[in-house]
Structure 1
């Protein structure tokens, strides 16, 4: 089968001038495919508008799917599409975990949680989700990044500039209450499950708080008890996210009356002595200038090029001010680069203490009274060389090959947590 042309181009960095954008967005699928389809680069950069992101991206995923391996969890393209479709409403609770293998930031995992019809809050987790209840390193760092568009949950791609990104797991999330003595909600979990149940909930007029509303409340309360019902993650997998009160972006101003010394640093305007605000590239730790240096855009004397550079700078300023990419809405007050503590909620995940270790607890599972363990076998996130997409079955290297990315320089020294 001939590889579609859209799988043989670099998709990042996005075009920065009107001329290059016109060239990129003007490329079409072959005559047997979709006519007048914009390039992946133009779509992901927000420079080209398409009506149906789901059909657009599943087309690329279908062309890249590997044969199913029986011992590996896999979500079919049809179920993947259905899962996304049934959460395309204001109370949707879709989630995705992306493995992002970045050339500078290195391998990390992006957890995105739907907060509205169009948007999702995002965390970058350097070592991935914890899967061993007896780990010597039980905690993780989860770093707030930009609020993404919901359709970003569908992406799986690669480029020289941004590395590879694959769908490590996806599904629906639940927000569990904090440990209190308040009576539990008698409403069953099935009332907010995928498919027709979600639709019935919306039409019934019930007053039960939706998962996305509970997420917004928990997010603002700086404590999230989160259950992820995915394909790869085990049943009842639950984590907690806690934002400490003394996080680095909430520090109080110095109490001393003595004015702080002004120091000239790189990227400082020598006239005003104010640092040029940086723009973080995607979810990585890469910092690029907010506006291009002289000479980089002035290669073309066309006035349209200068106007386009000005438009890009204004858009970047808006993204920094709102902490949300174009098309997304930061309705929960997300702050860029705040550091949360993430840990496995062992009790909610089905574990109990025995002989100073966490072991699976047993509970009644049916009318026959049979008691089975609720916990799961420990799992370890092994990184880009091992992990596969739950949708296409591809590794990071295979995503690179499918996108025709050669000579990718991978950042070294990433090590999985296996103890």
Structure 2
């Protein structure tokens, strides 16, 4: 029998009923809404030309033999003729096909406009034949080597099915999801501290190149809490390299527990002590990597993220919910990389590995120069960014999927400095 958690028109299926207070739309919008996202019963599966809808496939209401063929046809039928970097459908299919094995290194960056957590970017990295580790990056990939806000927050989320890398869709419950970029990744060696070496030392220091598959190198780097990741995509510039680091203060964060039905009042003394503890800054090994030193605007979605992620675990099917919490993986995916829910990583542009160097003289002295040809790129959000596969923006994805009167979270702003 199919668990009730898979009978929802979103992907991946949630395991908790969303709070009506968080998802309630204005009365003027509700009057014209095409669906009730809090409905207890599911509408019948609609068929388009004999094929199940995207929502039905993503929710587990319909089974298909070939996810790649299904999504490629759908995306091909919705493509727009828009300027900008594009990956045609045939290349999109070939990219996925050549990574459909145990040593694949496929990646995708989704732009996701979620009704609770708001606009963010999901970086998903294949680590096995069936599964991909996922990071939520609220403000997208950094593209300016001289930014005054070089750090990003990257939040570990659930392990996804690899075929989720193909999705471009929309629903009232999860908002719009479009493919911002996709390609293959390469894991670089962790940079070592440089010092002068003699000729003999240089000879002794030479080590053979790591010949292991990229996904095995990713697993090793992930366990060491330092990942230097080069992304070979369509939109991202050549040699684009990220550095992800997990501070020692975030080594482990247990999965959220199911909240109690009744709230207990805290003793005033305990409540004051708890509030004081939460107000304490998080320590870090370096000043640049301490989120307390970054702009508060870059951390504004965090309360919503914690609320959204912690509210996943109450559903009619307690067995499925408990399994997801225990494994940190959605049904069909396997967490063999030991991903832990909601750990906070620091993500930044690896400027040296991306080809930049600091100018020692001239008008650019002290600035990072070289690297990519042309101007830095900036991630400008849902109203500007388009899919690298279909050329659609978020509103066009919504319209194509029949989602009307969507109420999204506002106040997202791009990092342009």
1:44 offset after TM fit, Å?
1.2
Alignment of 1:340 onto 2:354: no
Alignment of 1:319 onto 2:311: no
Counterpart position of 1:217: 220
2:367 corresponds, among 357, 382, 386, to 357
Q: After the TM superposition, which of the residue ranges 320-329 and 242-251 deviates more from structure 2?
A: 242-251
Instruction: Label 1:169 to 1:44 Cα distance change in 2 as closer, same or farther (>3 A).
Output: same
State the SS of the aligned residue for 2:217: helix
TM-score, structure 2 length as denominator? Answer: 0.73
Alignment of 1:244 onto 2:247: yes
Question: Separation in 2 of the partners of 1:398 and 1:116?
Answer: 33
Counterpart position of 1:328: 333
Alignment of 1:396 onto 2:394: yes
2:56 corresponds, among 31, 38, 42, to 42
Instruction: Label 1:378 to 1:392 Cα distance change in 2 as closer, same or farther (>3 A).
Output: same
Alignment of 1:176 onto 2:181: no
Instruction: Label 1:186 to 1:218 Cα distance change in 2 as closer, same or farther (>3 A).
Output: closer
2:80 corresponds, among 52, 58, 66, to 66
Question: Separation in 2 of the partners of 1:158 and 1:334?
Answer: 27
State the SS of the aligned residue for 2:179: strand
Question: Separation in 2 of the partners of 1:175 and 1:266?
Answer: 37
Spell out the pairing of 1:5-404 with structure 2 (5 A cutoff): 11-12=9-10, 23-24=44-45, 27-30=46-49, 35=50, 37-69=51-83, 72-180=84-192, 183=206, 185=208, 208-247=211-250, 249=252, 267-269=259-261, 285-288=308-311, 290-292=313-315, 309=316, 312-354=317-359, 355-360=365-370, 377-404=375-402
Q: Deviations over 1:143-180 (max 9, x none)?
A: 00000000000000011111100000000000000113
Question: Separation in 1 of the partners of 2:339 and 2:263?
Answer: 32
TM-score, structure 1 length as denominator? Answer: 0.73
Q: Deviations over 1:119-141 (max 9, x none)?
A: 00000000000000000000000
Question: Separation in 2 of the partners of 1:226 and 1:132?
Answer: 17
CA contact (8 A) 1:61 1:156 kept: yes
The alignment covers a number of residue pairs equal to 330
1:376 offset after TM fit, Å?
5.5
Question: Separation in 1 of the partners of 2:395 and 2:306?
Answer: 20
1:15 offset after TM fit, Å?
10
Counterpart position of 1:262: none
Q: Deviations over 1:67-93 (max 9, x none)?
A: 142xx1000011001100000010000
For structure 2, the 5+ residue unaligned runs are: 1-7, 16-39, 195-204, 266-303, 360-364
1:60 offset after TM fit, Å?
1.1
Q: Deviations over 1:197-256 (max 9, x none)?
A: xxxxxxxxxxx20000000000011010000000000000001000000117459xxxxx
Question: Separation in 2 of the partners of 1:411 and 1:378?
Answer: 28
Question: Separation in 1 of the partners of 2:53 and 2:185?
Answer: 32
For structure 1, the 5+ residue unaligned runs are: 1-9, 188-207, 252-264, 274-280, 293-308, 362-373
CA contact (8 A) 1:146 1:283 kept: no
Question: Separation in 1 of the partners of 2:400 and 2:331?
Answer: 28
1:288 offset after TM fit, Å?
3.1
